[in-house]
Amino acid sequence: METEAWDHTAYYPGAQQLRIHVTGDGRSGQLLGHSQSELAKHIDVYAATLFAGQSVERLGNPRPAVQLAARAWTATRNKGQS
């Protein structure tokens, strides 16, 4: 699932738009991978989630770009299971 989000609140100077791609297992929801246009941003969150074997839904994080990507993936997964 690919989505776009700002790296921080857009009205603050220096905000950049990120293109984020999240890959997860459709049955278990486990995060399998991630890539984004600005690799250094938020990589710690994805790395910790991958290392722990947690689900995409566990990406709930105070960083809006991470939350948006996780919610978009989860919504697409849930739509496919309906």
- Kindly report the CATH number assigned to the domain that includes residue 76: 3.30.390.30
Q: What whole-number distance in Å separates Cα of residue 50 and Cα of residue 56?
A: 9
Which H, E and C letters describe 9-57, residue by residue?
CCCCCCCCEEEEEEEECCCCCEEEEEEECCCCCCHHHHHHHHHHCCEHH
User: What number is the average pLDDT over the span 42-54?
Assistant: 85
Q: What is the model's pTM?
A: 0.71
Residue 40 has pLDDT above 70, yes or no: no
Range of the domain at 17: 2-81
Number of domains comprising the chain: 1
Q: What is the pLDDT of residues 55-72, one digit of tens each?
A: 888 876 667 788 888 888
Among 20, 22, 24, residue whose Cα is nearest residue 53: 24
Q: What whole-number distance in Å separates Cα of residue 73 and Cα of residue 64?
A: 14
